[in-house]
Amino acid sequence: MFEAQRPKGEFGSSELPVRPALRHELNPNGSLTVHAPNHCPRRHPVPGSGTFSWIVALHLHSLICLRCRDEGHVDDHQWALIDPAYEQVEAGEAKGVGLELVAVPPAEDAGPGRIELRLDGHAIGTATFAVCPQDRTGVLEHVQVDAEHRGRGYGRVLALAAFSRLDWSTDGPHWVRGDRRVRALRGAQHGAGYAWTTTLIEDTPLARGFAKWLPLPTVGEPLYCRHMLAAAARLTV
- DSSP assigned state of 5: G
- Which residues lie below 8 Å from residue 209, measured CB to CB, with a gap of 6+? none
Give the interface size with Zn ion as a residue count (CB under 5 A): 11
Q: Which is nearer to Zn ion, 24 or 227 (CB)?
A: 227
Q: Is the distance from CB of 158 to CB of 135 less than 8 angstroms? A: no
φ, ψ of residue 66 to 5 degrees: the values are -70, -30
Q: Per this entry, what is the length of the chain?
A: 237
Using alpha carbons, select from 202, 135, 203, 208 the residue that is nearest to residue 166: 135
Q: Is 65 in the site for Zn ion (CB under 5 A)?
A: yes
Question: What is the per-residue binding string for Zn ion in 121-140, x denoting contact by CB under 5 A?
Answer: -----------x-xx-----
Q: Is 42 in the site for Zn ion (CB under 5 A)?
A: yes
Q: Which stretch binds Zn ion (CB under 5 A): 16-24, 68-76, 157-165, 192-200?
A: 68-76
**Considering the complex, what minimum distance in angstroms separates the CB of residue 131 from Zn ion?**
9
Q: Is 227 in the site for Zn ion (CB under 5 A)?
A: yes
**Considering the complex, what minimum distance in angstroms separates the CB of residue 223 from Zn ion?**
10
**CA 81, CA 176: separation in Å to the nearest integer?**
26
Per CB under 5 A, contacts with Zn ion among 22-41 are 40
